[in-house]
Amino acid sequence: MSKKVAIVGAGVGGLAVASRLAHRGYNVEVFERLPECGGRAHIIEDRGFKFDTGPSFVLMPDFFEEIFSYCHKDIKDYLRFVPLDTHYRIFYPDGDTLTVYKDTERTKQELCRLEPRSASSYDKFIQEIGELYRRVRPLLYSCFAKKDLLNPSLWSLATQLKIHKSYWQIAEKYFKNKKICYALTFEAMFIGVSPFRTPSFYSIITYVDHVQKIYHPLGGMYEIPRALEKIAQEFGVIFHYRQEVKKISVSNHSIILKTKRGECAADRVVVNADYAYALKELLKRKLPKFTYSCSVYLLYLGLKSKLKGFEHHNLFFSRDLRKNLQQIFDDGIVPQEPSFYVHVPTVTDPSLAPSGKDIAYILIPVPNLKKFRGSFSSVEAQLRKVVIDAICQATGQNLEDLIEVEHRFYPEDFIKRYNVQYGATFGLAHTFMQSAFFRPPNFDGKQKNLYFAGASTQPGGGLPPVIASSRIVADLIERRT
């Protein structure tokens, strides 16, 4: 009889593990507390607007292709990724802008406008982060244990990966203009960390953005979890929605999941729910002293008409980005003058809104709820106003007048809806001490047959690494069966 695997959570990580293992012949059941799949990659549909509420950038498309080919499926039968001609526009507080294009020559022209002769510096910068990427990429499909640190063949990695340098320092080496340094390191915020603190090897995100380019799945980001759920169902995975797992325990040779409806015994259990939450609440263990990523405050706006001056992805940088990041990551203060991101997917994909209308999804990084002890409601109105005013100033449009539909998502909603510890949107932070060997591994050190896949485990957060974590878990289970 085939082995039974139970998965806690139908986020992208859980769906990807389910598809892989069911394809390999395991008998897989998924328990999800919400009524639908996707986890943080969720969707709100309201009056003809389709708001993707979480991820908005598709980077590293090869990671998405990998899971489809692993399952002997053609990705084109499930998803249509289109490359964006304009990657994003950055709005600086002094009125300047910088646009990054798919066409590298156009991007270089933009950089040279801010810093003459920076085109050759850009080539050298891309070459350096490209070398980091080539070293890091194979590691993204590996699970390291702390004991691997004793392996001398891995020691040289520390020098090769320039662990003594920060993401910011790599950019600063090539460009004098701080606006360019910000433009080439802001991607650290994709994983919820500050570029001033994050190790240089995370600059591979800038590399994949600039070299492998940015994609959009037609129909919206939610098509991704939907496609993975479909594959899983084609292989016979059983989904138990609205079934929260309350406890994970061990009995004889099985692992038991306790839900409100009863108990389920499985030969293997994969936890896709947030790692820190699962340790504390499901396994009843003491939480190590983790560092958490930032949280975010989100506005999803359905607009009566088209927005002018925006690209698909837009970034607004505050006057003092360093102070802004310090407030979020060190001081636990909601910045009064925040940097923020505006996603207008209808630029590429008009199917996401009624004809002639636009979506504006605004993401504002704020401290996580371990750092921030105040009341968010006391700062919310001011924060929202500052952002809407900044958009008005940059584009000459009063966004407030255009709003037809509005939804909001607060830091505490990440706890209430997804069980994410401290509402830390991106899970455990990607500090040096929480990367590779030091990040929670994909297997449990104490309990045999218990595994972890998702943003807070190895290799890390973001859709491509989460999909890689599902491969690591599937391979570990196969190897140990």
Q: Can you give the binding site for ligand FAD, defined by CB under 6 A?
A: 8-14, 31-34, 39-41, 54-57, 190, 244-245, 272-274, 296, 363, 418-419, 425-426, 454-455, 461-463, 466
My answer on whether omega of the bond before 83 falls inside 30° of 0, hence cis, is no
Between residues 59 and 111, which has the closer beta carbon with respect to ligand FAD? 59
- Please give the Cα distance from 353 to 358 (Å, whole number): 6
**Nearest partner of 75 among 2, 19, 153, judged by Cα:** 19
Residue 168 CA to chain centroid, in angstroms?
A: 20
Instruction: Give how far Cα 431 sits from Cα of 159, 193, 434, 460, Å.
Output: 17, 8, 5, 11
Beta strands in 192-275, from DSSP E residues, in sequence order:
215-217, 238-240, 245-251, 254-259, 262-266, 268-271
Between residues 28 and 114, which has the closer beta carbon with respect to ligand FAD? 28
Residue 355: both structure tokens together: 């004809």
Between residues 84 and 111, which has the closer beta carbon with respect to ligand FAD? 84
| Minimum gap (Å) between residue 373 Cβ and ligand FAD | 22
- Please give the Cα distance from 93 to 46 (Å, whole number): 33
Question: What does 1-31 look like in DSSP terms, one character per residue?
Answer: -PPEEEEE--BHHHHHHHHHHHHTT-EEEEE
Partnered with residue 270 across adjacent β-strands are: 7, 451
Between residues 174 and 277, which has the closer beta carbon with respect to ligand FAD? 277
Q: Which residue is nearest to ligand FAD (CB)?
A: 11
Task: Kindly report the number of other CB atoms within 10 A of residue 461's CB atom.
Answer: 25
Between residues 347 and 363, which has the closer beta carbon with respect to ligand FAD? 363
Partnered with residue 254 across adjacent β-strands are: 251
Residue 59 CA to chain centroid, in angstroms?
A: 10
- Please give the Cα distance from 219 to 214 (Å, whole number): 16
Residue 221: both structure tokens together: 């980001």
| Minimum gap (Å) between residue 305 Cβ and ligand FAD | 25
| Minimum gap (Å) between residue 241 Cβ and ligand FAD | 9
User: Do residues 477 and 453 touch, judged by C-beta distance below 8 A?
Assistant: no
| Minimum gap (Å) between residue 470 Cβ and ligand FAD | 8
Between residues 114 and 428, which has the closer beta carbon with respect to ligand FAD? 428
Task: Kindly report the number of other CB atoms within 10 A of residue 252's CB atom.
Answer: 6
Between residues 56 and 203, which has the closer beta carbon with respect to ligand FAD? 56
CA atoms within 13 A on the CB side of 445: 10
Question: What does 31-96 look like in DSSP terms, one character per residue?
Answer: E-SSSSSBTTS-EEEETTEEEE-S---B--HHHHHHHHHHTT--GGGT--EEE-SEEEEEE-TTS-
User: Do residues 425 and 417 touch, judged by C-beta distance below 8 A?
Assistant: no
| Minimum gap (Å) between residue 151 Cβ and ligand FAD | 28
Q: Which residue is listed with tokens 């263990």? A: 285
> Which pairing describes strands 43-46 and 49-52: parallel, antiparallel, or unpaired?
antiparallel
| Minimum gap (Å) between residue 364 Cβ and ligand FAD | 10
The secondary structure of residue 428, as a DSSP letter, is: B
DSSP-derived 3-state class of residue 442 = coil
Between residues 54 and 338, which has the closer beta carbon with respect to ligand FAD? 54
**Nearest partner of 365 among 195, 201, 223, judged by Cα:** 195
Between residues 70 and 426, which has the closer beta carbon with respect to ligand FAD? 426
